[in-house]
Structure 1
């Protein structure tokens, strides 16, 4: 029971700083070929161009969207209930093509400028801030000019800006991949070049690793298959993250 309690408490502290308003935000669960909680009423992309990809920024799968046309197509979440206050959307995208964001709250907002993506850049963190009216809300992912492989989207986070503390790191402050890992290493990068220290604990709460990340890579080859907790520290800020070793 001790190890279950340790894991629960650690993960609970991870998720209580700010609540993600979107469900299935890492696209891990699918039904009938579509991600649960997505394909809202304002979606315009052909559903045949929506699929899951094993190339994930976090977890096991990501969302794959294809639109080779120069005319944009939309993909949205199933409507949630929003309040009239500032929100911040962050997510990772990867591939060749262009993507931008907007929202629908009974009316379409204006669109942000496109972010041009290239596979050579790997996963790119995108941030979009907006304030909707109170009521139903769909966040819009608008894409165009992809190649046949499409764009990948993963690790989406929608948070009320008022709940974000300057002392708290969100899930998206660090890029952590692959996770789950079977490669013997995990890539860990952040928005700065400052030193990153990582302590890894097993489910009994025993520290099994404590290293400084070198060249954005943490060696986990000594860890056996299982679930671990990573405590990632940088400049006095701390993020706790689950790690799965296969």
Structure 2
């Protein structure tokens, strides 16, 4: 069984493939904030018959932390959601370690993970049932957190199913009982690691030349040892895909890029590589 899951607002696709042990959740340590929310965890509301607001009732915490900053969410009468705004691109068959830290030392609040593998269908996503017992429905009552003065490290290692294209990373904050509003849960270190990601191994492109870099024109040239077509995806520092192009002449039109730093993902013949690009 599949469930249709629509991201009407706010969810961006981050297709960045990176080397082993690189966190696919950008700013998962909540060190960078824009006004009331961490970068990549900004507030948004879905549309439809049952609109829901995500990443609401959040506060930056600088005292009760694992390191640096943490995120504090307040329990309300309705379920509260913390969701990474980027659908994380995955590779079927790869092993992924999903983890985060939380602190529940409040008898007015509790938490649990509520995530899913996704299959992209145009501009919408199907929420797959694979691993739902672990990612969403584990033990129902037992999967909720219990009061603990210490930080708890939640970690899962799962294999991306054959039909998955992305992963939805979400956790939820609940009130402890129907009359217990206003409690706090603290979160830190959201992480998703591709345990099979290539660094310099057999699935990594070699002998890449990318120029000019820094770039001050409209055309980026990418050369490899092969003359076959390449797919080039470019991401900004927030993980948003800003260019996605196929090329068989080694050039990519980047006239839409503003000055800044970008990550370029190059895919060719089943191999990938990433490079940093500076646009002046």
Given the two structures, how large is their TM-score scaled by the length of structure 2? 0.45
1:125 to 129, 140, 153: 153
Q: Distance in 2 between matches of 1:68 and 1:139?
A: 21
Aligned residues: 148
**Do 1:18 and 1:159's aligned partners in 2 also have CA atoms closer than 8 Å?**
yes
Q: CA deviation at 1:48?
A: 4.3
CA RMSD of aligned residues (A): 3.1
Deviation of 1:26 (Å): 0.5
Which residue does the alignment assign to 2:63? 55
**Mind listing any 5+ residue stretches in structure 1 that lack a counterpart?**
1-14, 165-246
| Alignment-derived partner of residue 94 in structure 1 | 103
- Could you tell me how far 1:19 is from its partner in structure 2? 1.2
Q: Do 1:93 and 1:151's aligned partners in 2 also have CA atoms closer than 8 Å?
A: yes
Task: Choose from 122, 129, 151 the match for 2:185.
Answer: 151
Q: Is the 8 A contact 1:98 1:143 kept in 2?
A: yes
- Post-superposition shift, 1:86? 2.9
Partner of 2:31: 28
Aligned counterpart in structure 2 of residue 77 of structure 1, from 81, 84, 101: 84
CA displacement, residues 48-81 of structure 1 (integer Å, 9 cap, x when unaligned): 4122111343332101122233x53332112232
| Partners of 1:42 and 1:74 within 8 A in 2 | no
What is the alpha-carbon distance in structure 2 between the residues aligned to residue 23 and residue 116 of structure 1?
A: 25
Using the TM superposition, give the Cα deviation of residue 38 of structure 1 relative to its aligned residue in structure 2, in angstroms: 1.9
- Whether contact under 8 Å (2:43, 2:54) holds in the other structure is no
- Residues 82 and 56 of structure 1, relative CA distance in 2, 3 Å threshold: farther
Q: For 2:96 and 2:27, how far apart are their aligned partners in 1?
A: 18
Q: Residues of 2 paired with 1:35 and 1:89: CA distance? A: 19
Equivalent residue, structure 1, for 2:40:
37
Runs of 4+ in 1 over 6 A off after TM superposition: 40-43
1:71-97 CA deviation, whole Å, 9 max, x = no partner? 533321122322223321111100231
Q: Is the 8 A contact 2:43 2:55 kept in 1?
A: no
DSSP-derived class of the 2:99 partner: strand
User: What corresponds to 1:138 in structure 2?
Assistant: 168
Alignment of 1:67 with 2:97, yes or no, is no
Note the 1:214-233 alignment, pairs <5 A. Answer: none
- SS class of match (1:115): coil
Residue 45 of structure 1 deviates from its aligned partner by 4.5
Query: In the TM superposition, what is the alpha-carbon distance from 1:17 to its structure 2 partner?
Result: 5.3
**Cα 1:76–1:46 shift into 2, 3 Å:** closer
The whole-number CA distance in structure 1 between the counterparts of 2:188 and 2:144 is: 16
